[in-house]
Amino acid sequence: MDSSDVLQPVQEIIDNVRKNKDKALHDYTLKFDKADITELRVPTETIEKSIENIDVKLKKALEDAAENVSKFHKAQIPSDWTMEVRPGVKAGQIIRPLKRVGCYIPGGRAAYPSSILMTVIPAKIAGVEEIICCNPPDKDGNISDEILAAAYIAGATHIYKVGGAQAIAAMAYSTESIPAVDKIVGPGNIFVATAKKLVYGTVDIEFPAGPSEMLALIDETANPSYIATELLSQAEHDPNAATILVSTSRKVAEETVNYVKEYLETQERKEIIEESLSKYCHILVAEDMGQAIDFTNAYAPEHLVIVTEDYYKTLESIDNAGSIFLGNLTPVAGGDYGSGTNHVLPTSGGARMYSGLSAESFIKKPTIQELSPEGVLNIKDMVINLAQAEGLCAHAMSIRKRAEDIEK
């Protein structure tokens, strides 16, 4: 994902929001979303009422998904700990949540209530006090009941009717309506991803998360009709979504392509899928599984589907992937909505150095240390010698004075 083409306009948006605050947000919402809004924040009563306006089946699905996401992310919170590294030298780590975070919820081509669950719930579990969400409104200046209901179920503090790079700028620098946060998370288009990169340092971000991508690593045991649905499901996200198939079986690869062509005719988002497939879908046949795995690790996909004869054995060689789906019966959609794992994941090769969003994304880990008299004497010479080697005499003096008093 090359952001060079949008770097200048995104920086201009950020600068405008920093200077003109709410006025800039209103202007951009009118320009980009065609909505003339008066209030940026959605009233609490509107959020609470939204739960009554959605389909009962959707409400149940959101609640069930929220329960699974909560179960999974609760297991990710580490505990405080201490250890004695030498006699009298105690060191450890404590866990503290961030105070306020911002969750960007994409809009435009579709509503994504699942992204509310995936960003808000881990923050809530981590103990974040204030969790705000930004979502672009429709042309009437409203946010869908599905999004609001998900925010209510997940436990968001406030939700604001603003999207794009301007939302990222507002959460980073604050406006009259939107407070500055400590960290911004959530997926978005290239403008959103670029804005997150530009404000990083003023606030933290989880990682640049751009258009969706999936790689399926398969052999002759894969069901080609299932793999075809994986290619289609990722392609329907966005015209810029990338779908890759790496197979050691030419026969299965060809059968998968045939199923893609067959199923494509029935898809509601056919035009989006066709554009995505024509630009960013590649079907690759590897000489052997070793070559297929090497390519997979080099590509470092956001979503990795592994369907091989012994997929746990294959998994042992996988180093780079955002989230991994094992076997014929495990679609990416399971992780997107229902398994409990997080679907906010690194893209564009980011899985080489990042993991997906987690409860740990919203905590800090300050270290602690305590020296007893024995501990001071145990590390005195080491500290003095290292401090003197670096020319920091006051450092050496700080421990020497204590040691001298102890030895009196």
Catalytic residues: 302-303
Between the alpha carbon of residue 42 and those of residues 122, 148, 251, the distances in Å are 22, 9, 53
CB proximity list for 206: less than 8 A, separation 6 or greater:
183, 185, 344, 354, 357, 361
Amino acid found at 98: L
Distance, CA of 369 to CA of 393 (rounded, Å): 22
Between the alpha carbon of residue 77 and those of residues 15, 94, 216, the distances in Å are 37, 12, 31
The DSSP code for 43 is P
Cα 374 from chain centre: 46
Question: Quick one: angle between helices 7-20 and 22-33, nearest 10?
Answer: 140
Distance, CA of 70 to CA of 7 (rounded, Å): 37
Distance, CA of 315 to CA of 14 (rounded, Å): 42
- Contact present, 88 and 378 (Cβ < 8 Å): yes
In 3D space, the residue among 120, 149, 115 whose CA is nearest the CA of residue 132 turns out to be 120
Residue 89 class from Cβ within 10 Å (0-12 exposed, 13-18 middle, 19+ buried)? middle
The region, left, alpha or beta by phi > 0 then psi within -120 to 50, assigned to residue 134 is beta
- Contact present, 135 and 107 (Cβ < 8 Å): yes
- Contact present, 272 and 239 (Cβ < 8 Å): yes
Distance, CA of 193 to CA of 3 (rounded, Å): 8
SS3 218: strand
The residue ranges of DSSP E strands in 237-295, in sequence order, are 242-247, 281-285
Rg (CA), the chain: 25
Amino acid found at 39: E
Distance, CA of 158 to CA of 39 (rounded, Å): 13
Residue reference for tokens 């959609």: 333
